[in-house]
Structures are given as structure tokens and as C-alpha cells.
Amino acid sequence: MKNSRRSFLTKSLVAGAGLGLAPSVFGTEYQIAIDKNPKLSAPSDLKITEVKCGFIRGGSGLFVKLDTNQGITGWGEGVDATVGTYHVVKSMGRRLIGQSPFQIHKIFEDIRRGGHFGGGQSGMYVAVLSAIETALWDLSGKALDLPVYQLLGGKFRDKVRVYCDTALYRVRFPSPEDMATAAVDAVQDWGYNALKFDIDYVNDPDKYDRYNWTASPGEIQRMYDQLAAVREAVGPKIDLCVDMHGRYDRVTAQTIAAKVEDLNLTWLEEPIPAENFDAFKNLSDETSTPISAGENVYLVHGFKQLLDNGVDIIMPDLQKCGGLGEGQRIANLANAYYAPFSPHMVASLLGGMACAHVCASVPNFHLMEWQSYFHTDPMFKEIVHYDHDEDELINNGFLIVSEKPGIGVDINEEAMRKYAPEGVPFFE
């Protein structure tokens, strides 16, 4: 086929024979290698033929599959704002049929602009578009035999540092001792050097009521005691990130940020909701504790408003903020403000590795989120095809960026099937 790898290598064999190279030494091995590789037509002939999707986690985990006329498949993932979006995927997918997957930015912009009156600014629309856009990068990388970071312009680093979200929110009301134990386990058992804990608990007995966003003095003391126990347990050299999930008011944010200054937190994440950007004004100026936000902010426009209003560290979720290209644009915008880029990440290994490619491609990357349940929940291992041992996945707190074509992780459809929600079409 014209411009194919087989044609190129076959001509090389002929040239080699002309130079007297022994076929048994040179030609045979190369012919075997050629036969093992897919025989693709020119990239310019690559076209998307079908768009399918599947869900896990009750629908809050979306996986998009792009098929092509050359048998290459691209995978993408969306999270959280994806429940009930099967028909949104199919609607967007119809716009992709017959198109070249290499037109990533054009396709993204066509669909985004096409949703101007249909929700194209945020929420489910952008979360689904994020999954589709990611699958386009994966597909393009596989077709060109390049890892995604290379398509994004190259890499600044071979591995990305991750922080372990200890997921103690699954414990009804963890004590300071519970938090300290979880911190030590994450550092000693898995080698993490950065941790994150949640300190917002609706069942705190000192809470005024579940609708009042002002924390009581008892709540504030409980938060401090929990974090102080962690800091004492792991020492001063471990990054300690803290999440409040936007569940408090500015009075509480100011109080807790000032109270924990002696604990040297890496950041205090969304002590107030990120919906009112102006409310962040002056908050970061009032404390030495860095303020972070962004997991529920969409597209680069929203992050400009966060940065303009004093947020110190931005943390977009690339599986719902617009995808990999938009993630890189957000990081580059933050770099102009000298702000660190620390993505939120609650997806599978597919989404995690996709995010890692972006983290590798920007200079101001800081930390990427990683979940402790990746080590303990078998689902996350079963639903992907990835050729590294679990012990090699996170090494001393770092995730190695894949050098395989595309994202470097594929989905195991059959293994995923048992986790699919009932009543929702599964890759149909």
C-alpha cells in the first residue's frame, strides 16, 4: 500500500540485498517484524466509522470507543457529569462518522460551538466531549505510532508525581489516629510522598446542621487535630493536601486556612464553592496556606476567572473540563500566571494515563491525583489492558508516562461488562 511501513521496509530490504547483506541475518528478522505489524493504509485515508460507549459506576464513568476503516480503535473517558449521557454520545458521534481523527481541534471546536444553545459551556455536554476528544488523541497516536505526549508537542519529564487520595471519606467519621495510620500506610506500603485527606464530614456531632456552611469551633478544632496527627505521623517532607469539597463559607475558609498555617499544607482545596469566582478574592492573600480549586470548572474560560480571582493552584479534571487539548491550554494559561497545574483525577487507569501525557507536556505541572482504591479494588485492574505489573505502576510516588502509541492503555470490554449499569446499552 502507498506510503505504508511495509512498502518502506520492503524497499529497504532490496537495498540491503544490493549491498550484499545476508538475508538470513538482515532480511529474515525484518520480514518477521513486518508481518507482525498491522498493514495500514496512508494516515490520510483514516476515517472514523463508528462511535460506541459503555458505562461503569452507575453511569458516572463513561468510556467512548472510536472505530475506523483501518481497524484502529481509540479510547476516551469521561467522569462524574456523565450519568444518562448515552444519547449525548451517540448524537455527537454522528458528527464524527467519515471524519479524519487527526482533525482533533477542529472537531472539538465544531462540537463545542454546535452546543452553544445546548449546554456547550459546561456540565454533561463538555464531559462527554472530553471523552470523545481524548479518544481522538488516542486514535491519532496509534495511527501515527506515537505516544500522545509527542502529539502534544513533546515532554518535559518522563514520569509524573502523584498524590494519594487516601479515600478515608469511605470511613464514616475517621479519628485523628485513623488518618495518621492511613498516611503512614500510604507512605510505607506504596511509596507515596504526597497525600490528600478530606476534612468535610456532615456527620460531625459539632456541626450546627447539614445546611449551615459555617463550621463550629468544635469542627474547626477537629479538622486541625486530624491534620496535625497526619503531619506528626509522616514528618515535614511529605506533601499534605487537604480537600473541603466546597462545603463551607468564607468565614470558615478564612478561619481554617489561618489555623493550619503551622502544618505547612501543600494546598487547601475548595474551602468554598468554585461557583462564585469573586468569592476567592483576597482569600489567598489572607493566609500563607495555598488555595486550590477547579475540579468542577469547565473549559479554559472558567480557569481564567479562577486565576484572575486569586486561586493559587488550579486543578482541572481533564475527564470533564474539555479533554487533553483543553487541559494543556488551561495549564499554559496558568503558566502565564506562574500558577502550578495539579489535575484532579478520579478516572480509571485509561484516564489517569491520558492525564499523565498532558502533565508531561507542560512546564508548570505540580501533582496529579491518584486514588488509593486503585490498589485494592479489582475492577480497576480488570477493565484495562496494560502491560505493567501493579508494583511498577506507581514507583516512589511517580507514574511512568507510557511510551506506547496513543495513550498506552486500552479497555477490556468483556471484563468491563460485569460492571456496567443495567438498562444502558453497552458498546452498541
Residues 239-288 have pLDDT tens digits of 999 999 999 999 999 999 999 999 999 999 999 999 999 999 889 889 99
Query: Average of pLDDT values for 117-134?
Result: 96
Beta bridge partners of 165: 196, 371
Burial (CB count <10 Å: 0-12, 13-18, 19+), residue 103: middle
Q: How many residues does the chain have?
A: 428
Q: Which CATH number fits domain 151-404: 3.40.50.300, 3.20.20.120, 2.60.260.20, 3.40.190.10?
A: 3.20.20.120
Residue 4 pLDDT greater than 70, yes or no: no
**Residue 90: CA atoms inside 13 Å, Cβ hemisphere, count?**
10
Query: Average of pLDDT values for 18-36?
Result: 44
Q: Which CATH number fits domain 44-143: 3.40.190.10, 3.40.50.2300, 3.30.390.10, 3.30.1360.200?
A: 3.30.390.10
Give the pLDDT of residue 208: 93
Is residue 139 within 8 Å of 47, Cβ to Cβ?
A: no
Calculate what percentage of the chain has a pLDDT beyond 70: 89
Of 308, 388, 382, which is closest to residue 356 (Cα–Cα)? Answer: 388
Q: At 17, is the pLDDT very low, low, confident or very high (cuts 50, 70, 90)?
A: very low
CA distance 265 to 283: 16
The mean pLDDT value of the chain amounts to 90
Instruction: Give the helix/strand (H/E) hosting 14.
Output: helix 5-18
Question: What does the pLDDT look like over 43-91, one tens digit per residue?
Answer: 779 999 999 999 999 999 999 999 999 999 999 999 999 999 999 999 9
Give the residue extent of every domain in the chain: 7-39, 44-143, 151-404
Per 3-state DSSP, the chain is made up of helix, strand and coil in percentages (nearest 5) of: 45, 15, 40
Sheet with 48-56: list strands edge to edge: 48-56, 61-68, 74-79
Answer with the residue of higher pLDDT: 22 or 214. 214
Which residue is listed with cell 519529564? 157
